[in-house]
Structure 1
Amino acid sequence: MVYAKTRNEKEWKKHITALICVFIASIIMSINIKSFVRAGDLIPGGFTGLSLLIQRSANLFAGIELPYSIINISLNALPAFIGFKMIGKKFTSYSVLMIVLNSFLVDLIPVTPITYDPLLVSVFGGILNGIAIVIALYGKASSGGTDFIAVYLSNKLKKPSWNFVFGINTIILITGGFIFGFEAAMYSIIFQFVSTQVIERLHRRDHKVTLLIITKEGETIGQELLEYTHHGVTKFEGQGCYLKENKTMLYTVVGADEVKDVVHLIRELDSHVFINIMNSEGVTGNFYQEPIE
């Protein structure tokens, strides 16, 4: 009963965190579109950019003012369906909530340009866009469209794939260049590149870290790591060259977002432990990653 109650409390905390992240990310992304993207006539890539591209084209060639919300929600219907089937129901549900909330906020928030300098718009708009996506991903959600592709590929390949999606977005931007001019398209590519780099730096789930742990409590720490992280641990027995004491070295690979908690756990078990933390370029073989629900 106690375990079930604790588990339910944990699930509720996750749900509330997800909703808060979705709400904050939607506001930041909507303000960014109305303050930077519209001011610089940018096409931010992804389905957001595609929605703006369709909206501007309808206005330019047919004189029709299409609501951003209707276009964006319609375009994301198919990716959302695929997300339910191939990624996870909770993740897709939170993403759909963000898509709908962001879509209507863009229609409701007034245009409030901060600057018309195209380079400043591209750089700071890209930073805000990247931050919004990172917050959404932290809450186990996304902004939809090509983000679904990035998350799916990251789970399959076990490494970041946002630069691959940047390539897809560049095609959308070049298409926009043929219609609205290549100067706006080139600044849009800068916007998208900055956004992608922010996500790569701040979203740590897809990055791997190697830990080399030198301790006298090898058996205890090794067992605790197995249960806590579900990652494999390899044990080596040796001797310290300075004090000539018998030591155990534990070798394991964890996600970059797990390092802080794992190090805290280890230091609670052995306050004199020595840990070497190294970034891993990549891993092959079985590596447990918490599934996206």
Structure 2
Amino acid sequence: MKNVISIIIGSFLVGVAYNFFLIPHEVLSSGLSGIAIMFGLITPLNTGTVNFLLNLPLLILGFLMLGKRFIAYTILSVVAISVSLYVIPIVPLSTEPILSAIFGGVITGFGIGLVFRASGSSGGFDIIAMLLAQKKEFPLGSLLTAMNGVVVLASGFIFSWDAALHTMIAIFATGKVIDMIHTSHVKLTLTIITSKGEEVKEQLLANLYRGVTLMNGEGAYTGEGRAILVTVIARHQLTDVKKMIQEADACAFVNITPTLEVMGLFHKAS
């Protein structure tokens, strides 16, 4: 329920940023939402309706190929953003495009950051990049940057190059705020020392799409046998993993350390 509430609040903030700051000044956001804003400005269609229609096929594809809970949260976010864009009136809170681009980008980043922290996404290019990265070993950051570059160029050709520059400012501000709230690229190594190795292992394997290494150890003071489990997770999975460990063994000792780089097979979509 906490994740659901965070996603709804974050998605509502995105709708506020779009309709109060970005759309009134023809400033686009990043991703498919930016394309939805563009269509909403040049056609009679509502931006919220376009946003939902553009994301619908990707959500169906993602549901089949990516994590089910991740896509369920993403569907919730897309629906909440689309509804917010539909019900919130388009009212410019500032007459200055640059200020609107900055504040719109910051509020958008804060909203999307809340969605990411709740283990979801706002849909669009995130799903495309994850699907492509699964098939080919492309870096997600480069894919997203390239796709957002298309949005900026479209803004320049369709509206004006001032609008394109303002769009770049908004996208930059959004990215910086998202990085402050949640960095999906951060990996963590967990070393778990427990007397209930099988229970912890089964809990992790049943609920976490990650590899787990199991070793035998011995307590230096007690001389009792202990299981040592090592796994690498994405930062946003930490809360869920700690709950899993607590459920299996409330007395488990867990050392959590930042991981600079991972080589080999590491599932990126979870």
Work out whether the TM-score is over 0.5.
yes
Identify the residue that residue 188 of structure 1 maps to in structure 2: 167
- 1:36 equivalent to 2:10? Answer no
Give me the whole-angstrom Cα distance separating, in 2, the residues matched to 1:99 and 1:257. Answer: 19
Percent identity over the alignment is 25
Distance 1:188-1:268 versus aligned 2 partners, 3 A rule: same
Contact 1:166 1:192 in 2 (8 A): no
- 1:124 equivalent to 2:103? Answer yes
For residue 123 of structure 1, report the CA deviation from its aligned partner: 3.0
Distance 1:267-1:235 versus aligned 2 partners, 3 A rule: same
Contact 1:154 1:206 in 2 (8 A): no
Distance 1:153-1:136 versus aligned 2 partners, 3 A rule: farther
Identify the residue that residue 5 of structure 2 maps to in structure 1: 20
Identify the residue that residue 82 of structure 2 maps to in structure 1: 103
Give me the whole-angstrom Cα distance separating, in 2, the residues matched to 1:161 and 1:104. Answer: 28
Calculate the TM-score normalised by the size of structure 2.
0.73
Distance 1:210-1:22 versus aligned 2 partners, 3 A rule: closer
The RMSD of aligned alpha carbons is: 4.0
Once the two structures are superposed, residues 227-258 of structure 1 have per-residue CA deviations (whole angstroms, 9 ceiling, x without a partner) of 454443365989x9xxxx9xx99683432245
Match for 1:77 among 18, 36, 56?
56
Contact 1:162 1:200 in 2 (8 A): no
Match for 1:209 among 161, 170, 188?
188
For residue 124 of structure 1, report the CA deviation from its aligned partner: 2.8
Contact 1:79 1:148 in 2 (8 A): yes
Unaligned stretches of 5+ residues in structure 1: 1-15, 59-64
Distance 1:160-1:111 versus aligned 2 partners, 3 A rule: same
Once the two structures are superposed, residues 195-214 of structure 1 have per-residue CA deviations (whole angstroms, 9 ceiling, x without a partner) of 2343345335553123568x
- 1:170 equivalent to 2:155? Answer no
For residue 150 of structure 1, report the CA deviation from its aligned partner: 3.6
Identify the residue that residue 252 of structure 1 maps to in structure 2: 230
Once the two structures are superposed, residues 6-26 of structure 1 have per-residue CA deviations (whole angstroms, 9 ceiling, x without a partner) of xxxxxxxxxx34542342122
Give me the whole-angstrom Cα distance separating, in 1, the residues matched to 2:214 and 2:138. Answer: 22
Secondary structure at 2:149 match in 1: helix
Secondary structure at 1:110 match in 2: coil
Once the two structures are superposed, residues 33-74 of structure 1 have per-residue CA deviations (whole angstroms, 9 ceiling, x without a partner) of 01221244211132211122122223xxxxxx3322332233
- 1:48 equivalent to 2:26? Answer no
Amino acid corresponding to residue 28 of structure 2 in structure 1 = I
Amino acid corresponding to residue 254 of structure 1 in structure 2 = V
For residue 177 of structure 1, report the CA deviation from its aligned partner: 0.3
Unaligned stretches of 5+ residues in structure 2: 206-210
- Kindly tell me the number of residue pairs found equivalent between the two proteins: 259
Give me the whole-angstrom Cα distance separating, in 2, the residues matched to 1:154 and 1:207. Answer: 17
Distance 1:176-1:269 versus aligned 2 partners, 3 A rule: closer
Amino acid corresponding to residue 257 of structure 2 in structure 1 = I
For residue 92 of structure 1, report the CA deviation from its aligned partner: 3.8
Identify the residue that residue 121 of structure 2 maps to in structure 1: 142
Contact 1:134 1:203 in 2 (8 A): yes
Give me the whole-angstrom Cα distance separating, in 1, the residues matched to 2:138 and 2:195. Answer: 30
Give me the whole-angstrom Cα distance separating, in 2, the residues matched to 1:52 and 1:206. Answer: 28
Distance 1:159-1:204 versus aligned 2 partners, 3 A rule: farther
Calculate the TM-score normalised by the size of structure 1.
0.68
Amino acid corresponding to residue 278 of structure 1 in structure 2 = P
Give me the whole-angstrom Cα distance separating, in 1, the residues matched to 2:111 and 2:132. Answer: 20
